[in-house]
Structure 1
Amino acid sequence: MGGHMSKKTPETSSGINFNTDMATELRSYEAACKLDSDLQSFDTTVQARANQVIKTLAVGVEVRSLSFESLKLVTECLLEMDQEVVKVILDCKKDIWKNQELFELVEEYLENSLQTLDFCTTLEQCLKRARDSQLLIFAALQQFEEETELGEKRYTRTLQELKNFKASGDPFTEEFFQMYQSVYNQQILMFEKLLVRQNKLDKKVKQVHTWRKVSSMIFVATVAAVLIFSVVAAAIASPHVAAILAAVSAIPIGSMGKWIDTMLKSYETAVGGHKEVIISMQVGTYVAIKDLESIRVLIDKLEIEIESVLQNVEFAIENDALKVAIEEMKKKLGVFMKNVEDLGVQADTCSRDIIRARTVVLRRIIKLPHN
């Protein structure tokens, strides 16, 4: 129908003005028909029904009258064409401009990121205690060297530094690990929610293409109706009724196509903006999860080193085997210091990644189009 109708003259015998906008819409519809089998099927159906009605009305035009059966056929044809459109519309559930879920996700994401930053601050405090413990070990080793040079056999100061190290305890408390697990679980849950939301947005993007198809169907069904009304206007004897039908038919249909296209573009832009926000939060959440996992691995390594040093200290204190313990601690001190340094770097990376991700998300939100 698109190809057939677009080749018609711009004005019918009943005075209908097929304006430039309408001609453009028809050409657009014709191009869409070539690419979409559903539109091709719809177009064939509309052509067949419109042709059937026009052929039936042709007899009435010749005698300047219409039979009741002819008018009934016109009515049924228009209703059937509208129903074809309704069927497609009902298949696509309309869900436009509902942003509450998105903003709730944004709020949750920002809150989670703040809690993760709080965790990083707590981690820094733990690392400070670990560095203090590291200094106690270093002090014990220095005291051991000095007392060895002085010939001190009791190593009083060395043992005191080791006791201080033991008394300082584990820099990572039970509350710290509970906080870590809570933050990690929140990030995992956030990522899952974002995946669900992205899937919904992907479906909406597909719906935009379907709505474009629907708008084409509505447009061509309206054009078919206009043609049929023009035949009706020509066939009815009463000049008054004919003038009314012609006036109704002369409404610039092309502007309707423009309005629908504008609405769909607006919707597509909004969905695209929402998707950018979701993807930004997904990336930020994924990076945060990986940073937290790296932190946990480094904490576990550091915990192993701390436990090993503590065992050496206890062995030295309880078994009067200070020289053996000191030699072991010398070997482990370098590893201990490196683990503390690596963990500090990772904690700093995590903080910077979270702040950077928050900035990106907030910028995306600022760029979101108004509904």
Structure 2
Amino acid sequence: MNEDVVKVILDCKKDIWKTKELFELVEDYFENSRQTLGFCTVLEKCLKRAREGQLIIQVALKQFEEDQSEGIDDEKKNYSKTLQELKNFRAAGDPFTEEFFLLFQSVYKQQVSMLKTLQIKKSKLDKKLKSVKSWWRVSNIILGAAFASVLICSVVAAAIAAPPVVTALAAAAASLPLGSMGNWINSLWEKYENELKEQREIMTAMWIVSDIAIKDLVSIRVLVDKLEIKIESMLQNADFALQDEDAVMLAIDEIKKKLCVFMQTIEDLSEHADTCSRHIRRQRTVILRRITKYPSY
């Protein structure tokens, strides 16, 4: 989803959401997910450079075959064209820069921090929901025992500890007849409970996508490390051939053995990057829909 659309929706909701803490958490979530999408874009650029290196190696292998067929009766073959392609591969170097790994660490830490925060907030909401059910029953018991309405309001207000409920109870306690008090208090509890459930649903949705993002990032890092090992190995083979022309055949043979895994790892990484992006974009849309439906109470 376009970042401008996200900003417009969040700005529209900012002034009417009662729970500031939840709104700030949602803002943090969208910022983290935006940066993770940015990381996936950087990863694709690195993979583009890796594919360029793959093409250079394939050209080098083809050139080696041509060099082999030419001057077959010569005592010493001329591998100058093959060596030039290996030089090109060496010059291309490692497609994964230090900035890439710094960005990965930053995005990964942000996602882990977000997940921990959501776990803590979710746990607190679960306790609040459990407390609501208990105190709801207590308030009805007190009402049934025909306590004074002021006492009922005090107990309920203290139990909920939520400014909107406290205000409502205090304002209406003196004016409502005792017979209507039960329905009125039940409606307050129900509204408060529904609000907590809405908050929990939004947090759960954010928690799920953060958990998935972390798993995607871990898989990506494993594949990047695997690809780096293959690249470094092939670079060493290229160096070996460039330092000793008599070793070209041996170096090319080693590069051939590694090329298939190299190519497959690039494709696996590309697929993981695409999957990570799709997960994040889809869940951002889901959460935005929940936000637009979230009641202001």
TM category, shorter: 0.7 to 0.9
Q: Which residue is 2:214 aligned to? A: 289
SS at the partner of 1:369?
coil
Q: Match for 2:266: what amino acid? A: V
How many matched pairs? 250
Is 2:25 the partner of 1:105? yes
Alpha-carbon distance in structure 2 between the residues aligned to 1:218 and 1:187: 46
Is 2:278 the partner of 1:358? no
Q: CA deviation at 1:366?
A: 1.9
Is 2:95 the partner of 1:155? no
Alignment of 1:101-250 (within 5 A): 101-151=21-71, 153-221=77-145, 223=146
Deviation readout 1:304-326 (Å, 9 max, x if unpaired): 00011001000011022000011
Alpha-carbon distance in structure 1 between the residues aligned to 2:148 and 2:187: 23
Deviation readout 1:86-107 (Å, 9 max, x if unpaired): xxxxxxxxxxx96111111100
Q: Which residue is 1:263 aligned to? A: 188
Alpha-carbon distance in structure 2 between the residues aligned to 1:118 and 1:165: 27
Alpha-carbon distance in structure 2 between the residues aligned to 1:225 and 1:151: 109
Deviation readout 1:143-201 (Å, 9 max, x if unpaired): 01111111271211110000000000100000000000000000000001001100110
Alpha-carbon distance in structure 2 between the residues aligned to 1:263 and 1:257: 10
Structure 1 residue corresponding to 2:226, chosen from 290, 301, 313: 301
Deviation readout 1:75-96 (Å, 9 max, x if unpaired): xxxxxxxxxxxxxxxxxxxxxx
Alpha-carbon distance in structure 1 between the residues aligned to 2:133 and 2:291: 25
State the identity %. Answer: 57
Alpha-carbon distance in structure 1 between the residues aligned to 2:148 and 2:230: 83
Structure 1 residue corresponding to 2:251, chosen from 311, 325, 346: 325
- Asked if structure 1 preserves the Cα contact closer than 8 Å seen for 2:132 and 2:189, the reply is yes
SS at the partner of 2:83?
helix
Is 2:288 the partner of 1:368? no
Deviation readout 1:39-74 (Å, 9 max, x if unpaired): xxxxxxxxxxxxxxxxxxxxxxxxxxxxxxxxxxxx
User: After TM superposition, where is structure 1 displaced by more than 2 Å over at least 4 residues in a row?
Assistant: 223-226, 251-254
Which protein is bigger by CA-based radius of gyration?
Answer: 1
Q: Which residue is 1:278 aligned to? A: 203
Q: Which residue is 1:343 aligned to? A: 269
Q: Match for 1:162: what amino acid? A: L
- Asked if structure 2 preserves the Cα contact closer than 8 Å seen for 1:273 and 1:367, the reply is no
SS at the partner of 1:279?
helix
TM-score, normalised via structure 1 length: 0.65
Deviation readout 1:18-59 (Å, 9 max, x if unpaired): xxxxxxxxxxxxxxxxxxxxxxxxxxxxxxxxxxxxxxxxxx
Alpha-carbon distance in structure 1 between the residues aligned to 2:228 and 2:110: 24
- Asked if structure 2 preserves the Cα contact closer than 8 Å seen for 1:117 and 1:354, the reply is yes
Q: Match for 2:66: what amino acid? A: E
TM-score, normalised via structure 2 length: 0.81
- Asked if structure 1 preserves the Cα contact closer than 8 Å seen for 2:18 and 2:296, the reply is no
Gaps of 5+ in 1: 1-96, 227-250
Q: CA deviation at 1:362?
A: 1.2
Alpha-carbon distance in structure 2 between the residues aligned to 1:272 and 1:224: 30
Alignment of 1:34-73 (within 5 A): none
CA RMSD of aligned residues (A): 1.6
Alignment of 1:82-101 (within 5 A): 99-101=19-21
Deviation readout 1:248-269 (Å, 9 max, x if unpaired): xxx7423110011111111111
Alpha-carbon distance in structure 2 between the residues aligned to 1:309 and 1:109: 40
Q: Match for 2:121: what amino acid? A: R
- Asked if structure 2 preserves the Cα contact closer than 8 Å seen for 1:269 and 1:369, the reply is no
